Amino acid sequence: MTSMSRARVARRIAAGAAYGGGGIGLAGAAAVGLVVAEVQLARRRVGVGTPTRVPNAQGLYGGTLPTAGDPPLRLMMLGDSTAAGQGVHRAGQTPGALLASGLAAVAERPVRLGSVAQPGACSDDLDRQVALVLAEPDRVPDICVIMVGANDVTHRMPATRSVRHLSSAVRRLRTAGAEVVVGTCPDLGTIERVRQPLRWLARRASRQLAAAQTIGAVEQGGRTVSLGDLLGPEFAQNPRELFGPDNYHPSAEGYATAAMAVLPSVCAALGLWPADEEHPDALRREGFLPVARAAAEAASEAGTEVAAAMPTGPRGPWALLKRRRRRRVSEAEPSSPSGV
């Protein structure tokens, strides 16, 4: 499928989400049904050799940093098991802890991490999670990171419905004053028990949803980072290192890879990334594109960020596509939070 074709499919799904459609499927219903069957076989192994309890990483990171009278930055995680960090043993190995530690280091300011992410959640659970986040209007997070989508595919949720819930969540959070970064649907084609040709179909379904998620999130003022293509090639080459013991959730190294991709976008959303990296670099094929084109390209390339740009153009809203350089969060694994 060409980039233009992927863009048309993504735009069709996003339009269906915006205008109430619900019948647009991913990669063909029968094919996805077969993919789901294989993924469910893999999911049955979740918990085998894996912690059943998600580590509690909530608390204060960078507590020894000076505050200059400012309160700590507030970072909130929303989404599914990937956002929660299921599959690792220690709080410091979760993506929330890695992002909080990295953000504290870049901002030179403490960061208070919270989480309402729920293992097993689909995008329709974001309504509940956002309500929890916004329950105290005077404590709205500075930045929210949403990671969601895999369960939508495995539970056969219509893509339009999935994107509708995500778009609503981003809109509510942005209206409340929080910046939002969305890690889009991961690549289900990397799960070892999904074999060819179903592996290709799983990858296609994941990328279609990721592109549509990008359109929905960006049009509501959020930023997105492609996790699917970031993790896909690296997981395929190093499955024993980047998958956890259940062969379904990421390992500590896998979560670190995802966190390194998301951290630059989190920092950029808060105005903390170097100014010279905010300009598009033609050598890295960065630039302004119609949002559907940018979404399709992002779904096919590792760690690509898409953010809103010019409000409109001949082919609708435009976006800035950035291929940010990956930087290590830290050479040392974060310790547990210094306070709750």
- DSSP-assigned letters across all residues of 192-213: TTS-TTHHHHHHHHHHHHHHHH
Nearest CA to 244 out of 8, 129, 86 is that of 86
> What are the strands of the beta sheet with 59-61, ordered from one edge?
59-61, 111-115, 73-79, 143-147, 179-183, 223-225, 305-308, 318-322, 287-290
Contact 221, 180 (CB under 8 A): yes
DSSP structure class, residue 137: G
> What is the bridge-based pairing of β-strands 318-322 and 287-290?
antiparallel
Contact 78, 145 (CB under 8 A): yes
- Residue keyed to tokens 């959303």: 269
| Residues with a known catalytic role | 81, 246, 249
